[in-house]
């Protein structure tokens, strides 16, 4: 079974903190993605990566950065968390050129 | 930019009823996908559609890729309580050298036993 694991299900952080969300996949997928999910807005792409050390901005990259030092791991970084970054964050991965993306369980982040 | 309009936003139905939801766009897509998200979980792929006009079934689910490539629908027949969740459509398009996905806002389905 494909497994995409996000390090935390729930996180509460203070405004201004640096936050790391970690994602690991065990299927040797080339592609990895970070989305945020908000009610009424669906899933919006923050950043994606098609290879190690490679990253591309998605539709809403502002306030975020990413790191992909190893093929199986894709980290999302909030340099200085703000309350408008309170959301559900979903990591996904897929094979290169493949349509199906496999999602992790999500991390619900609350910034207070 | 690309936008998908998914409707309805939510549905509350009786067990055994059929369900229909759809996504429309002013843009053309080369693939349409339908995902389901159970409460507290990540989305899981239900059906993928690759050709305009394609009609695909997966058990009680049926989805179609619109002939104009700008829309898709998903039908669920004889709903059961475990159909509860959020259903997302997604359109795949090519931009900036990459294949990208854009998601609809989701249809939240509640099934009353």
pLDDT at B1: 64
pLDDT at B43: 95
Beta bridge partners of B28: none
Burial (CB < 10 A; 0-12, 13-18, 19+), residue B16, is exposed
| Tally of CB atoms within 10 A around B93 | 17
Rg (CA), chain B: 14
Per the listing, tokens 């899933």 go with A43
pLDDT band at A2 (very low <50, low <70, confident <90, very high): low
Over residues A21-52, the pLDDT tens digits come to: 999 999 999 999 999 999 888 999 999 999 99
Query: Tokens standing for B101?
Result: 């996905």
Length of chain B: 113
pLDDT at B93: 86
Percent of chain A with pLDDT over 90: 86
Within an 8 Å CB–CB cutoff, is residue A92 touching chain B?
yes
**Higher per-residue pLDDT: B4 or B3:** B4
pLDDT at B3: 82
pLDDT at B101: 87
Closest CA to A45 of B2, B46, B39, B27: B2
Query: Which of B4, B50, B101 shows the shortest C-beta gap to A101?
Result: B101
Q: How far is CA B59 from CA A38, B77, B80, B84, B113, in A?
A: 30, 9, 13, 16, 20
Residue pairs spanning A and B at CB distance below 8 A: 51
Over residues B46-100, the pLDDT tens digits come to: 999 999 999 999 999 999 999 999 999 999 999 999 999 999 999 998 887 878 8
Per DSSP, the three-state class of A84 is helix
Q: Do A99 and B43 touch (CB under 8 A)?
A: no
Over residues B22-50, the pLDDT tens digits come to: 999 999 999 999 999 998 899 999 999 99
Alpha carbon of B50: minimum distance to chain A alpha carbons (Å): 10
Q: Do A45 and B42 touch (CB under 8 A)?
A: no
């Amino acid at each position: 079974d494909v497994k995409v694991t996000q390090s935390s299900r729930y996180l509460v952080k203070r405004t201004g903190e640096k936050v790391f969300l970690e994602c690991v996949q065990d299927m040797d997928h080339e592609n990895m993605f970070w989305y945020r999910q908000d009610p009424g807005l669906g899933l919006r792409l923050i950043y994606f990566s098609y290879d190690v050390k490679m990253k591309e901005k998605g539709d809403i990259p502002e306030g975020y950065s990413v790191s992909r030092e190893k093929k199986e791991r894709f980290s999302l970084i909030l340099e200085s968390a703000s309350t408008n970054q309170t959301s559900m964050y979903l990591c996904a991965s897929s094979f290169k050129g493949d349509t199906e993306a496999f999602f992790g369980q999500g991390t619900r982040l609350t910034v207070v | 930019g690309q936008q998908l309009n998914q409707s309805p936003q939510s549905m509350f139905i009786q067990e055994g009823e059929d369900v229909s939801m759809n996504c429309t766009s002013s843009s053309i897509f080369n693939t349409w996908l339908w995902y389901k998200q159970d409460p507290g979980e990540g989305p899981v792929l239900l059906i993928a559609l690759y050709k305009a006009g394609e009609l695909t079934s997966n058990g009680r689910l049926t989805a179609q890729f619109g002939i104009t490539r700008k829309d898709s629908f998903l039908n669920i027949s004889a709903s059961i309580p475990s159909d509860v969740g959020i259903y997302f459509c997604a359109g795949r398009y090519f931009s900036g050298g990459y294949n990208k996905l854009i998601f609809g806002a989701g249809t939240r389905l509640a099934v009353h036993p």
